Structures are given as structure tokens and as C-alpha cells.
Structure 1
Amino acid sequence: MVTENIVLFHRVFFIVVDANIYQFNSTPRYACGCLILALIFAFALASLPVDAFVDRDNYLRYASSAAEIFARGFGEGPAYIVTNEPVWLLINVMLSFFCEDEDVVRMVVFISSLLSAYLLLRVDSKFFFILLLFLILPQVLKNYVVHLRQGLAVAVFLLGWFSRGGAARNVLILLTPFIHASFFFVVVIYYCSVVFALLRFSSGLRVALFALAGGTAAFSALWLASSLGARQAEAYSQNDLDISGLGFIYWSAIATVYFLQGKTFLKENSFQVGMLVFYLAVYFFLPVSGRIFESALILVLLSGLRLTSWRRALYYLLFCFYFIMQWLPRLSQPGFGWGVENYI
């Protein structure tokens, strides 16, 4: 009976999701296995105590008061609404009709983690183990434990990225900034990469333009956000940049490996390379640089699987080192560093 239910669920899931995405390098049996694992992953995260992690009070407030927040923002004008994640608010409004506040939070966690895990694991059965490590990397996992808006936006962006149809892809991708504001930057980089490809710019020119976009954003993003009334602008403008520079060194090493793969790789992975270059350009200047980069991190990591020869081996070594160094300090912390106990 359980097996029959799983098969039925997979058929429904195929109609809704798989039929609209590119053919991955995997068999139907592997796809079913990915769905089962993604369901286990999503159920596990959605079953965690709602009040055990930081910022959950904020998400419970969205669940209970999204309609009032939206109406209050509507009075501030269209620019305020557009820059303050209206789709996220509307999703909370719709879910609140059917669920209690805590269940709204659980539904957001479940849906976003299910879609992200399934799409990521489906990419290629040959890389299952490394794909699983991508999924549980702290910078990815936190989107389904702490930064729930970002996690939902990542799931929608991945659906768009892997979509078969151009219209569906564009609609889904363009929705993401209205779920999480970091995607305003991601969407700009994405469409810049599309335009650069259409104009057949060289890989060197693309890199230079992405760096220029990063430099422009570094000195204008907070001012522009404040002018448009984005609620994040004041909070981030008051925060001093407290960074060690180790992230810059690590991702510069990854970028170097990507550059060494050659011009064809850089052109075929223009968006991912663009996100890397943009992140490095704003690293020391923009407080939200890490959040922006994490919104596209899954795709940046996936592009590394297209490396060849010693470059892929070096990429694996660099990633495994990063994975271990990210998890080691968290193992001794309550809630792996995301628990409310860390902030008392």
C-alpha cells in the first residue's frame, strides 16, 4: 500500500513538475528515488520545532498578519510594495486561509525544501554523493531552516532555471525578487548573461562587465533601496562590515579554477561565473553580498561538475575542505548554530 501511494505521488509530481523541466541525466527509477529522499528531507525539516530557530517569530508574524502588512504597505505606494516582497506576503495570506500560523511556516519549509532537494538531486545520477553534500552545505541548508523567504525564492528560481519553456522560465525567475529581495541582483545578473550571449560577447568582456556591475551595485544598491523604501535598507546601512576575507580567498580560488577551464566553459556557465565575479566585486563593500550570492549558490556549485581533468579533482578537494570547515564549528552549537539558544 505504501509503495502504491509513493508511485501515485510520483506520477502526480511528474505531471506537475517533471513534465515541465529539462530532461536530467537519470533514469525513472533514480528519479523516484530522488523524490523519496527529497520527501524525507522535507518532512524532516518541516517536522522540526517551529520555535527552535532564530527569526521564527518573524515568520509566525507573517503567517498571522500578512494581509495587514500588505495593506499597510499598499498605502505607502507601488514602489514600496514592489520592493518589499509582495508575492511572499500573498503566499502567506493564501496559506493562512487553510493553515494555522505554525502550519504555514511548516508548509513553506516543506514545499521549498522538497522542490530544491528534488531538482538538485535529479541533475545527474553520476554525481549523487556530491549533490547530496551540496544540499546539506550550511549555506544551502540554512535557507530551509532560518531564511525561509530566501529558501522559497531559491526553489522557485530553480524551477524556472530547469524549466523547458521560455515563458515559464521567465515568469518563475521574474517572480523571485518579489519573494526575496536578494533576487533583484540575481535576476539582473541572469538577464545580463542572456543578453551577453545573444550579443556574442567574449568571455573576457563578460567577466569585465559583471565586475563593473558589482562595482556599481557596491556603491549604489543601499542608496537605491532606501530611495524605493525597501525595509532592508535601513537595517543593512547601520551594520558595519565584519568580514575576515577568508570567503573572498576561497571563492577567488574557485573562480580561478573556473577560469582555467577555458573560454567555452566560461560562456556555457556565464550566469554562474557572473554571480561569482559579482560577489567578489561587492564582497568588501556591500553588507548583503553573502545573502545575494547564497541565492545562486546551488547553481554556482553545480557548474563545477562540468569541469574536466585535474580541474574537477581540485574543485572536489576545495569543496570538501569548505564543507568540513563550515560544519566543524557548528557541530557543538545548539541547533547547529541556528538555534535560538545561540542568541540569548
Structure 2
Amino acid sequence: MNFKEFPSHFPLYFIIGKIPETSEERIQFLVKFEINEEKISHFTRLDNRALIINDIEELNCLNTLIDDKIKVIGISGKSQELRQDIRDILEKEKRFFEFRLKIYLNTNNREIIPYDYFEQRVDSDNNISEPTEKEKEISAKYYDEKRSKINTVEEAVNFLINEELNEENINEIKNKSLAEKFDQLGGFFGLGMYLRNIFIYPNKNEDFLQYLKIYDPQYIVDRGEFGEGIIDDLLWRKLNHYRITDESKKKIADLRKEQYDEDAFWSNYIKEQLFSYNLDDAMIRDYLEMENKMENNDEDFEHYYYEQKRILAGISDEEKSVYDQIKQDYFTIRNLIEQLKNKP
């Protein structure tokens, strides 16, 4: 079940715009779905605005008109009657809405993944052939020549942008929001291995390898195992116009001179990172306020976590209503599952 259509074996009676009375005698699900009301004007309607589906043909028609998912927003009845397979379905829905929320915040194009995202299959291309030994030799010579002329991180990044990466690779990096970049676990390992294979392992240019060891970007950065993290960082910053400014460098230098107690270490560590992305004082203050609330309120930890990501993603006023709805979808089903766990 992917919550995109109503199955034909359920008796259906819809009440539009009103929450019906529920009974504790048996399990009942309260659902919500989006549909253009004008398109269902021909269905049988009662005085209380209830909608009746008379046959399978009308049901099929209704199903085709549903936008996005059918969302479970309430459950009544005794939870022990809820079969394990239904509980598993609800957990699956929770994972879906959580992933949708993260993708929306982690992408600059504000991608909203479709309802059947996890059901989609990607066909692998079995016709991709391995390069011949001659092709491997030519490729090795090409990279050896290029590496011999690259002596700085800036030159490495320019090589990646202008010669190495294709348009799809570049657009993927451009689409990674600051909310994703700030997450240290966000997608680093795949790119890190790629950069090591190009610039580190076979590189005979000792000047460049030594340069990576002593390079100081003047802000906190995950250097990676051999310095590839520095290249990764500058590549994203350059493509997304987040190169650190002289003003931000000064703010970081002044921050490092401050005398602060051990309790303020983590706050200053985060503040230094945020300064490096040239964020204004108001955004940094709001972010740190969420950090403080996370530390002091376990129950709402996730809420403040996503508010932090919203701040970093730069959600506009026009995008805020979409973000609020996606966030609500996740927290609604998350809270329902928690209620079921605590319900007799």
C-alpha cells in the first residue's frame, strides 16, 4: 500500500471539511487527501456535505483525482486490534515523510519527492563496458600531466569545474543547500573517495601534496583523510557563492581571541562555522537559539533540529507554507505512531 488510492474492498463514506465523530469500539483511521472539489461535483452529495462513492467506477475516478498521498492524521479505537502489518505500513509512511522533509531542505531547488519515490525502479545499464588497457593508459597519462601543473586548492577546484566534472555533476553540487553542507554526515564519503583517486593516491606532485597539509582556509573545515575535504569544501563554496569574505575572516579571528568558559565552547564552535558562510548576526542568533532549545527540551528536539535546517536552507516567505505542510505531514504521523505505542 502506498497511500495513493483507496482500495475497492473498503466501504467508503467521505465527510468533506469536517472531522466525524469516532467510536472506541473498533479501530478507525481519520485520513486527509487533497483533491479539487470542482472535479467531484458530480458525485452523490448529502446535506451534511458527505460524499458517497456508489461503485467501483466512481472509486477509480476518485483515485485518479487525488493529489499526492492519502495522509493518516488520526486513529481511534483500541490499539491492540491494530495488526503488525498495519503498524509496519505506518512506520514506512513515517520514513517517507521524514525523507521528503530532509530532501526539501537539503536541495536548493526545493525538491518535493513524489508519493511513489521509494517504489520507483532505476534500470541499470548493463551495456557499460570496461575501458581497455590502452584507454586506461591514455587516461593515466592525462591525469599525470594535469596533476603535475596543479599546485593549489584553487587550481584543483578550477580543474574540476572547467575540465573534469560534467554538467550533471556540477548541477548536483550546486543543488546541495547549506543545510545539507552543514551536516557533516551529508554525502561526503562518495565525493571524498573520488577526489582522493584524482588528487591524492597516484599523485607524484609533492608540491601539491605538501600544500594540502599546510593549507589554512582560516575557518573550521573537515580536512578529510589526506586533505581532500579542503578541495570538496572550496568546490561547493565556489559553485554556490559561499566563498568566505574578509569581513567574516575578521569576525572569526576576533571570536578566537575571546576568553570563554568551557560551557560556551560548543556555541563558539558553531558560531565560527556559521561565520565562515557569511551569515548575518540575526540568522546566527536564531540558529543558536534553536541549539539551546534542543539541549534543554528532548521532546521537541526534532522540531528545533528542522528549524535549524530551515534557517540554513534560507526558506523564503513564499516557500514557508510548503515547508510547514511537509513538516506537519512528518510530525503528524510520527506523533500518531508514538500515541499507538503508548495506547492500551
Classify the TM-score, shorter chain. Answer: under 0.3
Higher strand residue share? 2
Q: TM-score, normalised by structure 2?
A: 0.26
Q: Who wins on radius of gyration, i.e. which is larger?
A: 2
More helix by share: 1
TM-score w.r.t. the length of structure 1 is 0.26
